[in-house]
Chains A and B, each alone.
Chain A
Amino acid sequence: MERKAIVLNSKDNVATALTDLSAGDTIELAVDDKPVSVKLLNPVQFGHKFSLIDIKAGSPILKYGEVIGEASMDITPGEHVHVHNVASTRGRGDVTAGARK
């Protein structure tokens, strides 16, 4: 069976789509050889990410087992995870400039 998505590290709370996926698709994944099943709430394009679990606003997003940013709002399992609900915490001159004002 062709793999539809990949989880790169067992700590990760997101998976990456390896093909274009549609809302309503049920994606079967293996995390540490344990089967995980997620039903997608949104379409997720090739190369984009979706959530595996509930992620509260302000919590870290984990990929490669490392922090890639934090949730800017609550995220539910199967939701598209991208710039609309994740904020970078680095190189944010706009934030430090705001703090200085």
Chain B
Amino acid sequence: MSFWGYPRPDGLVGTRNHVAIVPTVVCATATARQVSDNVRGSVPFLHQQGCALTPSDLEMANRTLTNLALNPNIASVVLISLGCDPIDIDGIAEKIAASGKPVEKFVIQEVGGTIATTEKATRVARQMVSDASRINREQFDDSKLMFGAECGGSDTTSGLGANPAIGAAFDILVKQGGRAVFSETTEFIGAEHLLARRAVTPEVGQQIIDFVRRYEERFLEKGVDMRGTNPTKGNIQGGLTTIEEKSLGAISKGGTEPIEEIYEYGERPTRAGLSIADGPGFDAPSLTAMAAAGATVMFFSTGRGTPLGTPFVPVIKVTANGPSYEKMKDNIDFYVDLTRKEHIAEIGAELYAEALQVASGRQTKSEILGQDRDNGLFLVGPLA
């Protein structure tokens, strides 16, 4: 099978052709929003972090913004910093340029305020959109795709239908030689032994166990009960009793193929196949992790219904909750009928076909409704 995508200088293939407007720090976020408002065809990454970070969080933010900008759905990049913020805007710009992608950077304190920066950056972004619009879609084998999978606003139906359907679509792509990533380490707690069993080597299996333990220990160290936080109040109302139950349903979105590797938040996989990006169960920063890993089409299962998309990457909303689908049809793209549960492979193939259409340019509901501008960066803390 094949799809129509955008070729990039580094050999990767995008499903979108965005000009990215990326602030390095919250102090530059309003400016990035204004530049993007001025230039149709550009998409901002509106986040509220980027300062007062511990050394390890700073390193994570640098690599996340770098790899996010390297996502093949982005044709070119405008970086905007304040100037006194700690993010390495020069290093990020150099790495983007090394990939062959056009990039320009603006430092508000050097340019002289936000009005001047907005003007200059708008002019550059306008030219970038003009240049990007000359790149045509070409036909590519679907092994050039990379899927991501998220679950949010989960209830029991997520684990019964929506996540298994996404997992079936993952299996199809991985068998074709493509890439797929899932995340949300918190929601492996209680199911990590099943993931470790699917690792390609015992070492990778042990790494999966270690990543989950590191995450769980953050809760143990703080002396808090995770219940009520994860599963959330909404999860519990939806019938999910414990994190173990939620996790067992959540991991089915990763399908059944072998797990090649697990890596830190903001990193990219080093090989084809199925991989895991470390990250929180909190949807926004988790979507960012998968966009940074290189996902070009994402699935997002929801039981209770959520509108959230993510900058640069089309997100296909999937639910197996009939009443939620009826109530939130404006936001949810794909319905999994639980009475067809025996035919989950067939439903997965239908979802896969929809993903190929989206990869070729069909707009998802979160894109059309502008739910694809705001997001977050993960941090472990403490903030200084």
Contact = CB atoms under 8 A, between A and B. Distances in A.
Given A64-B248, A89-B244, 20 more contacts: A3-B339, A6-B160, A47-B238, A47-B239, A48-B156, A49-B241, A63-B245, A66-B190, A66-B244, A67-B244, A68-B190, A68-B242, A81-B241, A83-B236, A87-B242, A88-B241, A91-B226, A93-B219, A93-B226, A95-B225
B136 to A, nearest CB: 46
Contacts, number: 100
Contacts of A97: 223
Interface string A1-41: 01100101000000011100000000000000000000000
B219 A91 contact: yes
B242 A47 contact: no
Contacts of A96: 220, 223
28 contacts: A2-B339, A18-B338, A45-B239, A46-B239, A47-B156, A47-B321, A49-B156, A49-B241, A64-B249, A67-B244, A68-B190, A68-B242, A69-B244, A82-B239, A82-B241, A83-B227, A88-B241, A88-B242, A88-B244, A90-B189, A90-B226, A90-B242, A90-B244, A92-B226, A93-B220, A93-B221, A93-B222, A96-B223
A49 B239 contact: yes
Interface in A45-97: 45-49, 61, 63-64, 66-69, 81-83, 86-97
Interface of A: 2-3, 6, 8, 16-18, 45-49, 61, 63-64, 66-69, 81-83, 86-97
A89 B219 CA distance: 13
Contacts of B236: 82-83
A67 B323 CA distance: 29
Given A6-B160, A47-B156, A91 B216 contact: yes
Contacts of B72: none
A39 B243 CA distance: 28
Nearest to B227: A88
A49 B223 CA distance: 29
B153 interface: no
A1 B102 CA distance: 60
B384 interface: no
Which of under 10, 10 to 19, 20 to 34, or 35 or more describes the interface residues of B?
Answer: 35 or more
B216 A90 contact: yes
A86 B246 CA distance: 14
B68 to A, nearest CB: 29
Nearest to B228: A83
B242 A69 contact: yes
Interface string B37-71: 00000000000000000000000000000000000
Q: Which 7 pairs show the lowest CB-CB distances between chains A and B? A: A91-B226, A97-B223, A47-B239, A47-B156, A88-B242, A68-B245, A94-B225
A2 to B, nearest CB: 7
B155 interface: yes
A91 B341 CA distance: 31
Contacts of A18: 338
Contacts of B160: 6, 8, 16
Contacts of A69: 241-242, 244-245
Contacts of B1: none
Nearest to B223: A97
A94 B223 contact: yes
B320 to A, nearest CB: 10
| Residue among A2, A45, A64, A81 having the largest count of chain B Cβ atoms under 10 Å | A64
Nearest to B224: A93
B189 A91 contact: yes
Output the residue of B191, B216, B221, B243 with the most chain A CB within 10 A. Answer: B243
A45 B241 CA distance: 13
Contacts of B223: 93-94, 96-97
Contacts of A16: 156, 160, 239
